[in-house]
Amino acid sequence: MTEVKREVFGQMPREEGGGMVERFILKSDSVKVEILSLGCIIAALETKGRDGEFSDVVLGFDTLEGYTRKHPFFGAVVGRVANRIAKGRFTVDGKEYQLFLNNGPNSLHGGARGFDKVLWSPQVLPNGVCFFRLSPDGEEGYPGDLKVWVTYTLSGGELTINYRAQTSKTTPINLTNHAYFNLAGQGSQDIYDHEISIEADSYLPVDDTKIPTGEVAAVQGTGFDLRQPVELGKHLQKFRLDGFDHNFCLQQVQARRLAARARHPPTGRAMEVHTTQPGIQFYTGNNLDGSLKGKGATTYPKHSAFCLETQNWPDAVNKPRFPSALLRPGEEYNHTTWLLFSAA
């Protein structure tokens, strides 16, 4: 059985349009997750270690103020298009669109005021919560009225996130959740003792602005071969990597399949990521720098968390050989990601 509670989390500042932010607490016997109506943010996720003790394994803030200031998308649903669009430009049906540039020369995670920064309308379900919003035609430069539903449900150790969308005009779309995990507990200094594996035979090399070059490269014989579990710290040293911020190419099937696994041997906590999406962005918190005060006044230094963002491939709207990122009127965008937490 899953318990669902709702409570007031805070009030948006007037310059952000005001409005009440609610917190939804989903609780099973092994997982407790807190989700905000602002940005569908996973603000806390407590899961058991092998000692039976709960620990919060996602980065974030204790108060709404932290989330209304600039932060690196902690726990948020990002869109319309997660990840990067080169030069913030794309052409659909012969018309060129220009987006706001918020990541060097590129547009990242939906632009200046993406899905992470807006209030969603919640509906409580027996085992979770469904958030809805209408992204109006032209919002952040994107075409079409886009109706979006993001549903979180919890069953035992499994948190399910379903994304659905319908549009009035052809538009690119790519939705993901940007939770930052540390299975040792949020506030732990690094993730070097985590074991990571990713079920991908290929990945996307990127240019110096993090845009895929268009090549789909085999992982075999490179530091990107994570098909067998690696201890992250040793692996980064061995291959002289500063960290990961790359899309791994998953099997091109629409069905649920295992995408990645993370394990923290000292506590026994493990997390599996299953998805219907064609890609997963593995990011090791390279841009965290200790400047943000998080929950319990802890700081978050570089490499103190990892993200496993299930997604379509970055810049797919400009790369005809990548899986299509376009949603057309009359179609439905529908993808699901499952996060399974366990301890052994």
What pLDDT was estimated at residue 248? 98
Percentage above 70 pLDDT, the chain:
100
* pLDDT at residue 154 tops 90: yes
Q: Is 103 annotated as a binding residue?
A: no
Provide φ and ψ at 98, rounded to 5°.
Answer: -120, 125
Report pLDDT digits (tens) over 312-322.
Answer: 999 999 999 99
Report pLDDT digits (tens) over 208-258.
Answer: 999 999 999 999 999 999 999 999 999 999 999 999 999 999 998 889 999
Alpha helices (H) in the chain, listed in sequence order: 64-68, 232-238
Given the DSSP bridges, would you call strands 171-172 and 326-327 parallel, antiparallel or unpaired? antiparallel
How is residue 124 written in tokens?
């409580």
Q: Helix or strand or coil: residue 108?
A: strand
Q: Please name each of the domains of the chain with its CATH number.
A: 3-343 (2.70.98.10)
What pLDDT was estimated at residue 17? 85
Q: How far apart are CA 203 and CA 283, in angstroms?
A: 13
What pLDDT was estimated at residue 252? 85
Q: What torsion, rounded to 10 degrees, do the Cα atoms 96, 100, 105, 109 define?
A: -100
How is residue 199 written in tokens?
């079920």
Q: How far apart are CA 275 and CA 259, in angstroms?
A: 7
Position 16 confidence tier, pLDDT thresholds 50, 70, 90:
confident
Percentage above 90 pLDDT, the chain:
97
Provide φ and ψ at 36, rounded to 5°.
Answer: -100, 150
Note whether 85 and 106 are within 8 A (CB).
yes
Q: Is 201 annotated as a binding residue?
A: no
Report pLDDT digits (tens) over 69-103.
Answer: 999 999 999 999 999 999 999 999 999 999 999 99
Q: Is 178 annotated as a binding residue?
A: yes
Is 0.85 topped by the overall pTM? yes
Residue 132's CB: how many other CB atoms inside 10 A?
Answer: 14
Catalytically annotated residues: 178, 309
Residue 293's CB: how many other CB atoms inside 10 A?
Answer: 13
Note whether 296 and 311 are within 8 A (CB).
no
3-state helix, strand, coil in the chain (%, to 5): 10, 45, 50
Q: Is 235 annotated as a binding residue?
A: no
Note whether 166 and 332 are within 8 A (CB).
yes
**What average pLDDT does the chain have?**
97
> What's the full length of the chain, in residues?
344
Provide φ and ψ at 234, rounded to 5°.
Answer: -65, -40
Position 104 confidence tier, pLDDT thresholds 50, 70, 90:
very high
AA letter at 54: F
Q: Is 255 annotated as a binding residue?
A: no
Residue 341's CB: how many other CB atoms inside 10 A?
Answer: 22
The residue written with tokens 């035609």 in the block is 137
- Strand-pair partners of 130: 123, 151
Note whether 139 and 299 are within 8 A (CB).
no
How is residue 149 written in tokens?
């539903």
Q: How far apart are CA 313 and CA 85, in angstroms?
A: 10
Residues whose CB falls within 8 Å of the CB of residue 110, separated by 6 or more in sequence, listed in order: 78, 79, 80, 81, 82, 116, 140
* pLDDT at residue 15 tops 90: no
Report pLDDT digits (tens) over 19-55.
Answer: 999 999 999 999 999 999 999 999 999 999 999 999 9
E-strand spans in 136-201? 146-155, 158-167, 171-172, 176-177, 195-198
Q: Is 83 annotated as a binding residue?
A: yes
Q: For 94, left (φ over 0), alpha (ψ -120 to 50), or beta?
A: left
Note whether 247 and 280 are within 8 A (CB).
yes
Note whether 74 and 117 are within 8 A (CB).
no
Report pLDDT digits (tens) over 287-344.
Answer: 999 999 999 999 999 999 999 999 999 999 999 999 999 999 999 999 999 999 999 9
